[in-house]
Amino acid sequence: MLELTMATVSGADAGATAGMAMAEAPSEPGAVLRLGRDAAVCRLVTPDDWLFVSRVHLEFVCGPDGAWQLTWLRGSQPEPSSEVRLLLGEYAQPVGYGATVRLPHGGSGEIVVQDRTAPRSVNVGFYHEA
C-alpha cells in the first residue's frame, strides 16, 4: 500500500495544512497515482492557477515487484518552472525533470514541488507499507 498526503502551501500559509488531500493505492503491479492540476486524471489535484505544476506533474507507479517509483513527468515546456525534491529523513535528493526515482520499500518521506518564482510549494508525504 502507498499512502499519500498532499498539502498546498503558499508564503502566507507557511506551516499551515490548509488544502490537504489524501490518496492511497494497493502495492499491486501497474497501480498508478498521479498529482497535477487535471482532476480528470489526477487523484491529488493542485489549484488550477498554480501553473508551476503541470496538468499531470508527478506519477507514482507500482512495479512488478510491488515497489513504488516516482516520475516527474516532462510537461509542455522545455524548462520546468518548479523544482522537485525527495526528502528521506535528513537526506534530500533532487529529482530531475523527466527522471524516475524508486521510493524506499517500507519507508516514509516527503516529495516537495517548489515554485521557482514564488514562495509556494506542494508537499506530499508518503508512506510505502512493507
What gap in Å lies between CA 110 and CA 78, rounded to an integer?
26
The answer to whether 73 touches 98, Cβ cutoff 8 Å, is yes
C-alpha cell at 13: 500559509
Which one-letter amino acid corresponds to residue 121?
S
Average pLDDT over residues 62-83: 93
pTM of the model: 0.91
Q: Show me where the domains of the chain are located.
A: 2-128
Q: How confident is the model at residue 9 (pLDDT cuts 50, 70, 90)?
A: confident
pLDDT at 16: 52
Domain 2-128 has what CATH class? mainly beta
13 DSSP assignment = G
The dihedrals phi and psi of 32, each to the nearest 5 degrees, come to -135, 140
